[in-house]
Amino acid sequence: MTLKSYKGLFVFLSVIAVFFLAFTQSSCKVRYGFQDAKSIPDSLQYVKINPMTNSASYVNPRLAPELTDRLIQKVMRQTKLQLTRGDDAQWVIDSKITSYSFSTSGVSNQQVNSNRLNVGVNIIIRDNKTQKVIGKYDVSTPFDYAGTLSLQQAEQGLLDQMLRDIPDALFNRIFSNW
């Protein structure tokens, strides 16, 4: 092969690489893109998010109010919806922590080396005009932590992650139909 044919092959492979990258990048945007605008009806403008309650057998007193605040912040930042506290809401979202349980998730050399905290939340979405339930969902989120930590240490260490991950899971379940 001559130098000219190597240059031609290089140009051809470069063009193929550019098309490949362009195709994969655009498909990622479609596949992983945020699509809340498509899943929220255009007629929906006002939503009311009631304070989260806690009916789990073990109650972390900080969790329900902070999760409510984080969910409200997420809805306000990532949707066109307006939050209301009045009766003008078209949707009313009620949620409660239904489970807050600990289990062993890993054992080695006959010692616990990791534990898991599972937090379960039940969500009910109601059409405020008809009082009909639009959706009812259970969302469970696991959090792993070192087996050497006490329950209080684990809760303190996992709080930021819980306040990030649980509202994300709730938001996705409510608005993205995941």
Residues 149, 75, single domain; the answer is yes
Residues 4, 52, single domain; the answer is no
Residues 68, 127, single domain; the answer is yes
Residues 61, 135, single domain; the answer is yes
pLDDT at residue 48, as a whole number: 95
CATH number at 134 reads 3.30.160.150
Residues 29, 116, single domain; the answer is no
Helices (H), the chain: 3-32, 36-39, 63-78, 151-175
pLDDT at residue 16, as a whole number: 53
pLDDT at residue 87, as a whole number: 86
Residues 106, 28, single domain; the answer is no
pLDDT at residue 23, as a whole number: 45
Tens-binned pLDDT, residue by residue, of the chain (178 aa): 554 555 555 555 554 544 444 444 433 333 333 444 446 777 788 999 999 999 999 999 999 999 999 999 999 999 999 999 988 899 999 999 999 998 887 666 555 578 899 999 999 999 988 999 999 999 999 999 988 888 889 999 999 999 999 999 999 999 876 4
Report how many domains make up the chain.
2
Which amino acid, 71? L
Owning domain of residue 23: 1-33
| C-alpha closest to that of 113 among 104, 121, 122 | 104
What is the Cα–Cα distance from 163 to 165, expressed in whole angstroms?
6
What is the Cα–Cα distance from 17 to 71, expressed in whole angstroms?
42
Residues 9, 56, single domain; the answer is no
CB 80 within 8 A of CB 42: no
Residues 64, 131, single domain; the answer is yes
pLDDT at residue 112, as a whole number: 55
pTM of the model: 0.72
